[in-house]
Amino acid sequence: MTTLSTHVLDAEAGRPRVAVPVRLERDGEVLAEGVTDDDGRLRFARDLAPGVHRLVFEVDTPFYPEVIVAFRVTGDPPHLHVPILLSPFAFTTYRGS
């Protein structure tokens, strides 16, 4: 099984984005919800089955009301970290470690 964490970084302010609501979904079902902590991080306390999952970040920037990142869970590596770097008119994501 695979665990998951995320991190939201505010590129414009140069610091973590605090209190961002985040949903973890699979096949239209909400598996977990939470908000980023004082360091912009959120760890989901559940194991993920293989397949395509989505993280939905309610970022509420001037252009993006939400950011959706779809990713595939294969079971390897055993932990996935999916951060986003956010600015008012752009975002970037990558598979972290």
Q: 13: which residues sit within 8 A by CB, 6+ positions away?
A: none
Does pLDDT of 23 surpass 90?
yes
pTM: 0.95
Predicted local distance difference test score (pLDDT) of residue 75: 83
pLDDT digits (tens, 9 = 90+) for 32-72: 999 999 999 999 988 899 999 999 999 999 999 999 999 99
DSSP classification of residue 89: T
What is the structure's pLDDT at 1?
76
- Give kind and range of the element (H or E) at residue 50: none
Residue 16 Cα distances to 4, 40, 54, 57, angstroms: 18, 5, 21, 14
The per-residue pLDDT for 32 is 96
